[in-house]
Chain A
Amino acid sequence: MALIDIAAREIPEAGAPVLTLEELPGATGEGLAVFLPAGTAPEAVLPHLSRLALLLVEFPKFRDGRGFTLGRTLRERYGFQGDIRATGHIIPDQLSMLKQCGFTSVMTPQEHPPEQWRGLREPTQRQLLQRLLVK
């Protein structure tokens, strides 16, 4: 297991101990980190969002795409500014989608070490609609 940023560069793991959702209400201070198991509703973290610096979004299986919606909702709808990290079973081919959904780091699984996340061929061109929508 290693930590990479959204450009697949290895970064040091540091910071606050990771809390569970249950521990969160009792925790004090700022810059907290919380683990969000798959299926967590965004509303469960909303009251604490301003005190959080790191959200660990769980992917139990890479085929389970709930984390994409959770990350995107917290980033875009609720304006979370801190680090959103994917953790669990994810594959390198998902990095670009994680990025587009607001994720900023990935805890890489054992079988996919950081070097596998680099040098992947991916479309850089966008189809017409995407080009028109981002204008």
Chain B
Amino acid sequence: MGSTITANRLTDGVVIWRDAQGGWNPDQAQAALLEGDALAETLERARREDQNLAVDIREIPVEGRVPVEYRERLRAEGPSVRPDLLGKGHGWPAGPFPPLPSVSHSSPDAGVYRYDEADREFLRQRAAQFAQQTERRLKGELNEEEFKPLRLMNGLYLQLHGYMLRVAIPYGVLSATQLRQMAYVARHYDRCYGHFTTRQNIQFNWPRLVDTPEILRILAEADIHAIQTSGNCVRNVTTDHFAGAAADEVVDPRLYAEILRQYSTDHPEFTYLPRKFKIAITGSEEDRAAIRVHDIGLIARRDAAGEIGFEVHAGGGLGRTPIIATKLRDWLPARDLLRYVEAVLRVYNALGRRDNIYRARIKILIRDTKPEAFRQMVDDAFAALPADYAVLTDDLLAQVAERFHTPPFLTLPEAAPAFEAALVSDPGFADWVARNTHPHRVPGYICATITLKPAGGIPGDATAGEMELIAGLAERYSFGELRVSHEQNLVLPHMEKQALPALYAALREAGLAGANAGLATNIIACPGMDYCALATARSIPVAQRLSQHLAAREAEIGPLDLNISGCINACGQHHIGHIGLLGVDRNGEEVYQITLGGAADEKAAIGGIIGHSVPTAQVVGAVDAILDTYLARRDPGERFIDTYRRLGAAPFKEAVYGTH
């Protein structure tokens, strides 16, 4: 057993190996086998001399030339779930590329925040700023340690196989033009697909560093950006994916989410926080935004006089220390929203721990200081702000609200005969409607979910072609407006009921008509070790096996949230799945811990671990045993989560592990 030295190439992220001539080679077969003093000296020299050529230079143990660790084998070979990408080398398409979609499309009716020329120029200037920062990095004026937070604040990570760019879809709202622009980036600067995440973002897995400023410039032309999608700053503000459309909505949260987005962008005081900071907001009593597991969670309400205000929660989160948020305020008038958020952030920035990354989130500060004392500190900081500072006056709110167009809804009759007829004649359509739609606030309209969860597929992935097709459907049927849900699906928020059969037919033809929203195969999964540098196990293959297996019985099972994370950081939000799976490494073997009883809604709960982890080959069997127990023990019409709450974990434990 010896070692090889590996790194990622600075300019494009490609995995490279130190060869016998002292150069870097993307061909692993050329990697020099080293040990002892030669290894230490070569490593030391590479780190000293090549820090402006290669990133994350390190040694890895190999047998022959095969890396010992599974993660490193994946890194050398490519994601196990995309064999079609293997052996394609590291080519990127060469230009010239066709004109940008934003040149020919504008989605004039979509309810996205409308940029003015100054807003757009700000994004262009941010892209230009990052171009200069990239140049300074390549020249060595900034070292990697300094550059890393700057690229992260522009959404650019270094992952297992190379760079990954996370682009914000602010509060999940986007136009068809914007989706087309993202497809354009996927097609010309990446590998023709993107991954929608649980935080209403999209990730591109193969961008080059040197192309990223240009990608950001392209996105800016469609009023999209990657600002603060990573780093220790305020991240993309998330909300209900039916915001502005749902019949049960009390307050449209998009206006406040947009104000929070602009407030936190490049905030001079809060860009170097102890750790990342996530805000979620809902305007419905049914919490579809999981606000109780966010650093700040807001519920928008109206008081008896019709005035808008917020119930404020803080200190929720998942990860290593899952905690349900503490309620800080029952009522915060809308005018004070920024002032109060600023007070919370100010206390956190001054006092949050910086000595231990795992104790740096605000949830730990609130837990350690005790909620009462924390609330008092926030109230003091809030009271100390000048009375006229950052007040959301009616005038200001009106000026931002003006930027959201209301789609030109038609006055439709209650009856939708074509829709009603199709419900009767086509059981597949009826099934899809029952699962994938949500009541709309305007008569004759309905919200439709397009799940990105085909049986055996990669949760949340969409090809450039699929994005373009869905953008076209949004243009045709939904005023050019779309949503991304935290369940990694897309939504056409404003469908005429009468047009649903035609939409369904188009989706069926494209293989996108899965009737599984809210069901067992609508699995939420992080990219896991197939892509992620932090993961300890793969998530996607487990999701694929489970969705393939459960597809046949999910209708019988009924509503079920099944979440999978590939490490303790919990991007797959396993703690709040009714059934949660957490992949961990046990001596080189992928094993999965099972949690039950988690929930993200207004009865938010952290799932409980039911026993020892099971090997990957036994995951499907264990989930089956849990679901068999549920089916045998449920009361008529009872959801899985309610049966679990009634019975507790014991019968499920017994089903998985036996009585021993």
Across the interface, B400 reaches (CB within 8 A) one of A98, A122, A129, namely A129
Q: How far is the CB of A101 from chain B (nearest CB, A)?
A: 5
- Could you say which residues of chain A place their CB within 8 Å of the CB of B149? 62-63
Does B270 make an interface contact (CB < 8 A)?
yes
**Residue ID in chain A nearest B384 by CB atoms:** A77
Within 8 A of A (CB), among B255-283: 259, 262-263, 265-266, 268-273
Cross-chain contact B396 with A125 (CB below 8 angstroms): no
Is A65 in contact with B269, judged by CB distance below 8 angstroms? yes
B44: interface (CB < 8 Å):
no
Judge whether A69 and B269 touch: CB under 8 Å: yes
> Which of under 10, 10 to 19, 20 to 34, or 35 or more describes the interface residues of B?
35 or more
Once the chains bind, are A91 and B118 in contact (CB under 8 Å)?
no
Q: A65-B272, A69-B349, A133-B396 given as contacts; is B116 within 8 A of A128 (CB)?
A: yes
Q: Judge whether B129 and A127 touch: CB under 8 Å.
A: no
The reply on B506 being an interface residue by CB < 8 A is: no
Query: Hey, which chain B residues are within 8 Å of A133, CB to CB?
Result: 390, 396
Nearest residue, chain B, Cβ from A97: B268
Contact present for A125 and B122 (CB under 8 Å): yes
Which B385-419 residues sit within 8 Å CB-CB of chain A? 386, 390, 396, 399-400, 403
Partner of B346, one of A69, A97, A123, A130: A69
Q: Is B103 an interface residue (CB 8 A)?
A: no
Known: A64-B272, A122-B125. A127 touches B346 (CB 8 A): no
Check if A51 is an interface residue, CB within 8 A of chain B.
Answer: no
Q: Among A98, A99, A122, which residue has its beta carbon within 8 angstroms of that of B129? A: A122
Contact A124 B272 (CB under 8 A): no
Determine if A126 and B122 form an interchain contact, defined as CB atoms under 8 angstroms apart. yes
Known: A123-B126, A130-B262. A62 touches B146 (CB 8 A): yes
Residues on A with C-beta less than 8 A from B655 are none
Taking a contact as CB atoms under 8 Å apart, the answer to whether A123 and B119 are in contact is no
Q: How far is B346's CA from A30's CA once the two chains are assembled, in angstroms?
A: 31
CB-CB < 8 A to B150: which residues of A?
Answer: 93
Instruction: Report the Cα distance A10→B271, complex, angstroms.
Output: 26
The reply on B625 being an interface residue by CB < 8 A is: no
B118, B268, B350: most-surrounded residue (chain A CB, <10 A): B268
CB distance from B368 to the nearest CB of A (A): 16
Q: Does A72 contact B (CB under 8 A)?
A: yes
Question: With a CB–CB cut-off of 8 A, which chain B residues contact A70?
Answer: 350
The 0/1 profile, CB within 8 Å of A marked 1, for residues 119-151 of chain B is: 101100110110111000000011100100110
Q: Is the CB of B118 within 8 A of A131?
A: yes
A129 touches B259 (CB 8 A): yes
The answer to whether A72 and B400 have CB atoms under 8 Å apart is no
Name B385's closest neighbour in chain A (CB-CB): A77
Contact A68 B129 (CB under 8 A): no
Minimal beta-carbon separation of A29 from chain B (angstroms) = 30
Is A50 part of the contact surface with B, judged by Cβ < 8 Å? no
What's the interface size class on A, roughly? 35 or more
A124-B129 Cα distance, complex, nearest whole Å: 11
CA–CA, A73 to B273, complex, Å? Answer: 16
Are B129 and A66 closer than 8 Å at their CB atoms? no
What CA separation (Å) do A109 and B403 show in the bound complex? 44
The answer to whether A65 touches B271 (Cβ under 8 A) is yes
Contacts of A76 in B (CB 8 A): 386
Query: Chain A 100-130 against B: per-residue CB contact (8 Å), 1 yes, 0 no?
Result: 1100000000010000100011111111111
Q: Which of A64, A66, A125 contacts B118 (CB 8 A)?
A: A125
On chain A, the residues within 8 Å of B390 by CB distance are 133
CB-based contact A127/B262 at 8 Å: yes
A20 within 8 A of B: no
Contact status A127-B259, CB under 8 Å = no
How many angstroms between the C-alpha atoms of A101 and B270 in the bound complex?
A: 10
- CB-based contact B119/A127 at 8 Å: yes
Report Cα–Cα, A116/B399, bound state, in Å: 39
**Do the beta carbons of A69 and B350 come within 8 Å of each other?**
yes
The answer on a CB contact under 8 Å between B384 and A68 is no
CB of B354 within 8 Å of the partner chain: yes
Given contacts A66-B350, A68-B349, A130-B262, A121 and B271 within 8 Å (CB-CB): no
Q: From known contacts A68-B349, A69-B346, A127-B262, infer whether A62 and B272 are also in contact, taking CB-CB under 8 Å.
A: yes
B102 located at the interface, meaning its Cβ lies under 8 Å from any Cβ of chain A in the complex: no
Interface assignment of B232: CB less than 8 Å from any CB of chain A:
yes
- A14 contacts B by Cβ under 8 Å: no
- Cα distance A94–B149 in the bound complex, in angstroms: 12
Contacts A91-B146, A93-B150, A127-B118 given: A132-B269 contact, CB under 8 Å? no
If A77-B384, A126-B122, A128-B403 touch, whether A68 touches B396 (CB-CB below 8 Å) is no
Q: How far is the CA of A126 from the CA of B268 in the complex (A)?
A: 13
In the bound assembly, the distance between CA atoms of A128 and B263 in angstroms comes to 10
Minimum distance in angstroms from B570 CB to a CB of chain A:
23
Contact A129 B125 (CB under 8 A): no
Specify the chain B residue showing the minimal Cβ separation from A76.
B386
The answer to whether B122 and A127 have CB atoms under 8 Å apart is yes
Given known contacts A96-B268, A133-B396, A126 and B118 CB-to-CB distance under 8 angstroms: yes
Q: Which of A30-83 contact B (CB under 8 A)?
A: 41, 62-66, 68-70, 72-73, 76-77
Chain B CB within 10 A, most for which of A77, A126, A133: A133
Chain A residues with CB below 8 A from B400, complex form:
128-129, 132
- Asked whether A128 lies within 8 Å of B119 as measured between CB atoms, the reply is yes
For B118, what are the chain A residues with a Cβ–Cβ distance below 8 Å? 125-128, 131
Q: Which residue of A lies closest to B146 (CB)?
A: A91
B399 touches A65 (CB 8 A): no
- A133-B350 Cα distance, complex, nearest whole Å: 24
Residue contact B232 to A129, C-beta cutoff 8 Å: no
For residue B349, give the distance in angstroms from its CB to the closest CB of chain A: 5
B649 nearest CB across to chain A (Å): 41
Of all chain A residues, the one with the shortest Cβ separation from B388 is: A133
- Chain A residues near B116 (CB, 8 Å)? 128
Q: B125: which of A101, A116, A121 is its contact (CB, 8 Å)?
A: A121
A residues neighboring B (CB under 8 Å): 41, 62-66, 68-70, 72-73, 76-77, 91, 93-94, 96-101, 111, 116, 120-133
Q: List 24 A-B contacts (CB under 8 A).
A: A62-B272, A63-B272, A64-B272, A65-B349, A66-B354, A68-B268, A69-B269, A72-B268, A76-B386, A97-B266, A97-B269, A97-B271, A120-B132, A121-B125, A121-B128, A121-B131, A122-B125, A123-B129, A125-B118, A125-B119, A127-B118, A129-B262, A132-B399, A132-B400
The chain B residues found within 8 Å of chain A, CB to CB, are 116, 118-119, 121-122, 125-126, 128-129, 131-133, 141-143, 146, 149-150, 232, 259, 262-263, 265-266, 268-273, 346, 349-350, 354, 384, 386, 390, 396, 399-400, 403
Since A41-B350, A99-B268, A123-B126 are in contact, a sample of 19 more A-B pairs with Cβ atoms closer than 8 Å, ordered by chain A residue number, is A65-B273, A66-B349, A68-B272, A69-B269, A69-B349, A69-B350, A70-B350, A91-B146, A97-B268, A101-B269, A120-B132, A123-B266, A125-B119, A127-B122, A127-B262, A127-B265, A129-B396, A129-B400, A132-B396
Q: Which 8 pairs of residues, A with B, have the shortest CB-CB distance? A: A65-B272, A100-B268, A129-B262, A123-B125, A97-B268, A125-B122, A125-B121, A121-B132
